[in-house]
Copies of this chain bind each other. A is one copy, B any other.
Amino acid sequence: MSGVIYEKVALIGLGLIASSITHAAKRTGLVGEFTGYARSQETRDTARELDLCTVYDTAAEAVEGADLVILCVPVGAMGSVMKDIAPHLKSGATLSDVGSVKRAVIEAVEPYVPEDVHFVPAHPLAGTEHSGPRSGFAELFDNRWNIVVPASDYTDRDAVERLKTFWKGLGALVDEMDADHHDLVLAVTSHTPHLIAYTMVGVADDLARVTDTEVVNYSAAGFRDFTRIAASDPTMWRDVFLTNKDATLEILGRFTEELFALQRAIRTGDGDHLHDYFTRTRSIRRGIIEAGQDTDAPNFGRGPANT
């Protein structure tokens, strides 16, 4: 990848994702110039200190003349931010976002999108347990998927293809699907697993007979991965569950149904049911490793064995 794809890109919200976009783009010079805005003075100061982009004190100034505007704020804040910037968007500009839910973002943002602006929502499936501008890094999107979700069937194809080329240039793999299917897929692969992890960590935290120290020391036995997932940004996740309510509740329903069946098998001592179930789940794992979405290194690069 090389060559400028967008002369001027405006980032509204300057957290992990926005920060990583600037770092990744600088590797290949995809972008002529980055501008940015964040609601909090502290985040704006940090972004200036890190020299991520030209930081403005209002979103309106930041999007002025931008060829691509990416909304990088929590899903629940997309609508109000869009309302502020709509009158200032450049004619012919592409408007996108990085929200983890797509139907709700389209419903909140689309009413404000000017006729001459191309709205192409997207969702990079990449993140870490850390948040804020300091947590960004250039490799965050490498080999990770970005799902592009055109807001309507009438969305300008050139604008869609250009945004895809941009994300490929940031290192991502790109796919395209409609908003409702995206929200269901993510409810399975991300939203419900996160809720479950948050729940399990909360249970351990509550359990008085087991001290924090024991939970911490013995976490390597499996709980550890739950705590990483359950350390993600609370505001972002609150908004995800409130805005992808239907799909999350549907998957949760299926989850508790299965869980109760396994619970009954434990109570009744039905070892065959448990063994069959545990055998079936191994195949998906193999697929993920073959697809390059994880390593099968014994310790994931964790611990003294690998450091």
A residues within 8 Å of B by Cβ? Answer: 76, 125-130, 135, 137, 139-140, 142-145, 147, 171, 173, 175, 181, 184-186, 188-190, 192-207, 209-210, 212, 214-232, 234-235, 237-239, 241-242, 245, 248-249, 251-252, 254-256, 258-259, 262-263, 266-267, 269, 271, 274-275, 277-288, 291-307
Q: Give the number of times this chain occurs in the complex, counting copies.
A: 2
Identify which of B220, B232, B245 contacts A144 (C-beta below 8 A).
B220
Complex CA gap A239/B274 in Å reads 9
Identify which of B130, B227, B303 contacts A281 (C-beta below 8 A).
B227
Beta-carbon contact of A304 and B207 below 8 Å: no
Complex CA gap A198/B59 in Å reads 45
Beta-carbon contact of B298 and A193 below 8 Å: no
Complex CA gap A285/B142 in Å reads 25
- Knowing A199-B259, A205-B284, A207-B254, say if A190 contacts B223 (CB, 8 Å): yes
- Knowing A193-B226, A223-B190, say if A254 contacts B203 (CB, 8 Å): yes
- Knowing A224-B293, A242-B274, A249-B266, say if A142 contacts B304 (CB, 8 Å): yes
